[in-house]
Chain A
Amino acid sequence: MHALSLQMLDALAALLLLLSFAMLSQRRIVTLVNLLALQGGVLCAATLLLAWRTHEGHLYLSAALTLALKVIVLPRLLHRLIHRLDVYWDTEPMLNIAGTMLVGLVIVVFAFGLAQPITALASTATRSAIGIAVAVVLLAFLTMITRRKAMSQVVGFLSMENGLFFGAMSATYGMPMIVELGVALDVLVAMLVLGVFFFQIREQFDNLDLHNFESLREDK
């Protein structure tokens, strides 16, 4: 592959990682969703670049899918939910921002270690980005753990999905089309189920705070 496009791809990968860190520190939920959409956009750009360079037809489809689902449909859905449910801010995260960032840094180092055997095996030109994909997944996981609002946990969940797609792309130029379609369908349905679910929670508790969810304990 052309050296320039490889470098551009690496730059896009770095941007993905940067966005993950931005999400980790962001407490305003509207911005969090915008960051997620941006991450989807970067993912889409990376897929397009790779499709153009490798002439893999199905990657174009995959890019279109990412654009439709992760840049347009899901963020819109989430924005509408936020407005209708009136949840704009997350409460103080369980760990303060600086602490979370430090943990995030350690996670990135760990992710590159974890990706070592995969990088060694993969035959793609983009294999150096696998470490970043793993890091994005783990950082999204961290976002989910440290947040208390249901909405931010969902954004973390979707960011994790972004990381997984980027990983599949850089390690194998994408999964078979049928699987990618299936995964996309599942994600879409999950968000619809979630929308219904949020309204049920709101009806019952008047807010979307996960503090409410502490009744099902073993010592009940």
Chain B
Amino acid sequence: MEFLLLLGMPVLGALTLGLWGAHRQAPEINVGFSGLTFLAACALTVRVISHGNLSVAREQFFVDPFNVFLVTLTAFVGLTTALFSRPYMRVEAEHGRLTPPRLRLYHSMYQLFMATMLTALTTNNMGLLWVAMEAATLSTVLLVTLYRTPASLEAGWKYFILCGVGISQALFGTILLYVAAEKVLGATGVSALLWTHLNTVKGQLEPAVLGLAFVFLLVGYGTKVGLVPLHNWLPDAHAEGPTPISAVLSGLLLNVAIYAVVRCKVLVEGSLRSSLPADMLMGFGLLSVTVASLFLWRQRDIKRLFAYSSIEHMGIIAFAFGMGGAVANFAALLHMTVHSLTKSAIFFTVGHAAQKAGSQQIERIRGLIDINPRVGWGLMMGSLAILGLPPFGVFASEFLILTTAMKQQPWATPILLGALGVAFAAIFSKVQPMVFGESTGRRLPHQPALLPVFAHLALVLLLGLFIPSYLAQWYQAAARLIGGL
């Protein structure tokens, strides 16, 4: 029941907002549906805490420790982003950048995007996972091009074609997985793509085919994660779309994509019994961290800056999952959570700051602390949190990842540390004058929504100091499930 509500609410929301979304209260309706989705997610969480794992619709959908916290996180950030987008999109409309039909498209697609991500997270069927991932791309393409500027059209086209081609590779990988699975599970057609079934027989799956499948799956879903060198679409799509979409793309979609990669890795590693998948993840991860941290220096657009920071963090997470083992997996899961919360909070403040300055160019945003101290402090705290300063949660997860790296992969530690240092200097030196320099901003007709920003940062701070026991148990159970060498 909770489960039906979880997937049903955003679909219903998309239909309602699509049919009469030109309504003046559309932003409130959007918040309402996101709120109901979040309540359903909470109910589901409570049920999982008291009753354990869940399997729905003849095992086509399931909830286990690995996806339960991601479902709640997705619904939560979905709600706070809807809250943020309420005043933000009103200001955009009043500045004449958007017309009512486009706002209708925006609200409807926003709900549909939530529905596809929640489906991708909860489905047990590897084929449906693919379908949902592709649907997530499709529902956001028209959002990236919402402003219809030449740059946004280019960004949308890149996003569509690169992710489309990438995801085709993943489909080929899924077909290969099915070929191997059918051999073991029989041609019943239904169970051969269910992750839970595959997981029990993973030792018998043909290694040569699964190895090949993993290459295609990693390239396919890796394109959506934004792993270097498949990251080209990511900064453009983040910078040119409306800010609430940047927040959910960065905070949620990347998480869902890396979730898909890790689900595949578990199966392939069980079949191959070699470190090939782990090595590939670590390689892509390190490359992403290094390249992204160098590109950070060259950014002049504030949203591109934080888009590259997302690539860097996805690299760290991929590297940690690559290392595997209880501690690294735990740290990676924690990092997914805190990165998602912090990065969306940063995009919220960046959105307001850019509206005040009338530009996304870093050099034109100055002195936020004078114009609106809360936006200024929000951006400063968010940046410090994402850079891994204690006592925020990002520090805890990065610290765990680094110390595990020292023990398991000592050669990688200097690269990681160097990249983190470079990223720190780059982001801090750009954000500092934005917050404390001479002010240039203007007043906005609507009060900025800063509650989501500080709620996110408070949660990140909390996770840095103390992790609730059930959350820690999920992380540990998920870390065992993911395993690794």
A interface residues, Cβ below 8 angstroms from B: 58, 114, 117-118, 120-123, 137, 141, 144, 150, 153, 157, 160-161, 164, 167-168, 171-173, 175-179, 182-183, 185-186, 189-190, 193-194, 196-197, 200-201, 203-205, 210, 212-213, 215-216, 218-220
Tell me the minimal C-beta distance from A161 to chain B in angstroms.
Answer: 7
Q: Is B269 an interface residue (CB 8 A)?
A: no
Q: A164-B172, A172-B182, A197-B156 are in contact. List 11 more A-B contacts (CB 8 A).
A: A117-B209, A118-B176, A157-B165, A164-B168, A179-B130, A183-B130, A200-B145, A200-B153, A213-B154, A213-B158, A216-B151
Residue contact A193 to B160, C-beta cutoff 8 Å: yes
Within 8 A of A (CB), among B118-160: 125, 127-128, 130-131, 134-135, 138, 141-142, 145, 148-151, 153-158, 160
Report the bound CA distance from A213 to B183 in whole Å. 46
Interface residues on B, range: 35 or more
Q: Write the nearest CB–CB distance from B290 to chain A, whole angstroms.
A: 16
Residues of B with C-beta under 8 A to A200:
145, 148, 153
Q: In the complex, what residues of B have CB within 8 A of residue A194's CB?
A: 160
User: Contacts of A168 on B, CB cut-off 8 Å?
Assistant: 175, 178
Give chain B nearest CB distance to A133 CB in angstroms.
9
Bound Cα distance A153, B189 (Å) = 33
| Pairs A-B, 3 closest by C-beta atoms | A179-B127, A182-B131, A117-B208
**Are A216 and B154 interface neighbours, CB within 8 A?**
yes
Complex Cα distance A177/B125, Å? Answer: 12
- Of B127, B131, B153, which is within 8 A of A204 by CB? B153
Q: Compute how far the CA of A215 lies from the CA of B182 in the bound complex, rounded to whole angstroms.
A: 47
Collect the chain A residues with CB atoms within 8 Å of residue B193's CB: 175-176, 179
> Beyond A179-B127, A200-B145, A205-B150, is A213–B165 a contact (Cβ under 8 Å)?
no
Interfacial chain A residues near B158, Cβ < 8 Å? 213, 216
Listed residue (A121, A196, A216) with the most chain B CB atoms within 10 angstroms of its CB: A216
Nearest-neighbour CB distance to chain B for A214, whole angstroms, equals 8
- Is A175 in contact with B151, judged by CB distance below 8 angstroms? no
Indicate which residue in A117, A123, A197 contacts B157 across the interface (CB closer than 8 Å): A197
Q: Contact: A190 with B138, CB < 8 Å?
A: yes
- A115, chain B: closest CB distance, angstroms: 9
Interface string of B177-189 (1 = CB under 8 A from A): 0111011000101
C-alpha gap A137/B176 in the complex (Å): 14
In the complex, A174→B295 CA distance in Å?
44
Q: B residues within 8 A CB of A182? A: 127-128, 130-131
Q: Which chain A positions have C-beta within 8 A of B183? A: 121, 123
Residue B206 at the A interface, CB < 8 A? Answer: yes
Chain A residue contacts of B295, Cβ below 8 A: 218
Chain A residue contacts of B156, Cβ below 8 A: 197
**CB-CB contacts of B93-132 with A at 8 A, as 1s and 0s?**
0000000000000000000000000000000010110110
B161 near A: Cβ within 8 Å?
yes
A123 / chain B contacts, CB cutoff of 8 Å: 183
B229 → A minimal CB distance (Å): 13
Cβ-defined contact, B141 with A164, below 8 A: no
Task: Return chain A residues, CB-CB under 8 Å to B54.
Answer: none
Interface contact B208-A121, CB-CB below 8 Å: yes
- If the complex has contacts A137-B172, A204-B153, A216-B155, are A118 and B189 also in contact, measured as CB distance less than 8 A? no
Which chain B residues border A176 with CB–CB below 8 Å?
A: 125, 127, 178, 189-190, 192-193
Task: Indicate if the CB atoms of A160 and B151 lie closer than 8 Å.
Answer: no
Q: B150 and A204: CB pair below 8 A? A: yes
Q: Flag if B145 contacts A175 (CB, 8 Å).
A: no
B398 close to A (CB within 8 Å):
no
Chain A residue with Cβ nearest B208: A117
Partner of B141, one of A114, A137, A183, A193: A193
B9 interface hit (Cβ, 8 Å): no
* Cα distance, A218 to B236, chains bound together (Å): 10
Which of B134, B189, B190 counts the most A-chain CB atoms under 10 A from its CB? B189
Cα(A194)–Cα(B151), bound, Å: 17
A contact residues around B209 at 8 Å (CB):
117-118, 121
Do A172 and B178 have beta carbons less than 8 Å apart? yes
Whether B138 lies near A189 (C-beta < 8 A) is yes
Q: Can you spell out 8 A-B residue pairs with CB atoms less than 8 angstroms apart?
A: A114-B212, A117-B208, A157-B161, A172-B178, A173-B187, A176-B189, A201-B153, A220-B300
In the complex, whether B164 has a CB less than 8 A from a CB of chain A is yes
- Check: B407 CB closer than 8 A to any chain A CB: no
In the complex, the answer to whether B160 meets A121 with C-beta atoms within 8 Å is no
Taking CB as reference atom, which chain B residue is nearest A117? B208
Nearest residue, chain B, Cβ from A219: B298
- B298 contacts which chain A residues (CB < 8 A)? 218-219
| Closest-CB distance, B109 to chain A (whole angstroms) | 10
| A117 vs B189: C-alpha distance when bound (angstroms) | 22
B171: Cβ under 8 A from any A Cβ = yes
Complex contacts, A196 vs chain B, CB 8 Å: 142
Q: Are B154 and A212 in contact (CB under 8 A)?
A: yes
How many Å from the CB of A53 to the closest CB on chain B?
A: 15
A186-B134 contact given A141-B165, A204-B148, CB 8 Å threshold: yes
B179 and A193 form a contact (CB under 8 A)? no
Contact A121 B175 (CB under 8 A): no
| A186 to B193 CA separation, bound complex (whole angstroms) | 19
A-contacting residues, B231-264, CB 8 Å: 236, 240
Task: Chain A residues near B145: list those with CB within 8 A.
Answer: 197, 200
Chain B residue nearest to A116 in the complex (CB): B208
Q: Which of B155, B165, B178 contacts A144 (CB 8 A)?
A: B165
Q: A122, B131: Cβ atoms under 8 Å? A: no
Whose C-beta in chain A lies nearest to the C-beta of B128?
A182
Q: Contacts of B157 on A, CB cut-off 8 Å?
A: 150, 197, 201, 210, 213
- Please name the residue on chain A nearest to B193 by beta carbon: A176
A159 to chain B minimum Cβ distance, whole angstroms, is: 11
Q: Which residue of B lies closest to A154 (CB)?
A: B161
> How far apart are the CA atoms of A126 and B197 in the complex, in Å?
27
Give A153 to B161 CA distance when docked, in angstroms: 8
Q: Considering the chains assembled together, what is the distance between the CA atoms of A205 and B148 in angstroms?
A: 11
Task: List CB contacts (< 8 Å) of B286-342 with chain A.
Answer: 295, 298, 300
Query: How far does the alpha carbon of A106 sit from the alpha carbon of B340 in the complex, in Å?
Result: 44
Residues of chain B within 8 A (CB-CB) of A193 are: 138, 141-142, 160
Contact A118/B212 with A175-B175, A204-B148 known, Cβ cut-off 8 Å: yes
**B142 to chain A: which residues have CB within 8 Å?**
193, 196-197
B150 & A215 in contact (Cβ 8 Å cutoff):
yes
- Complex: how many Å from CA A207 to CA B131? 32
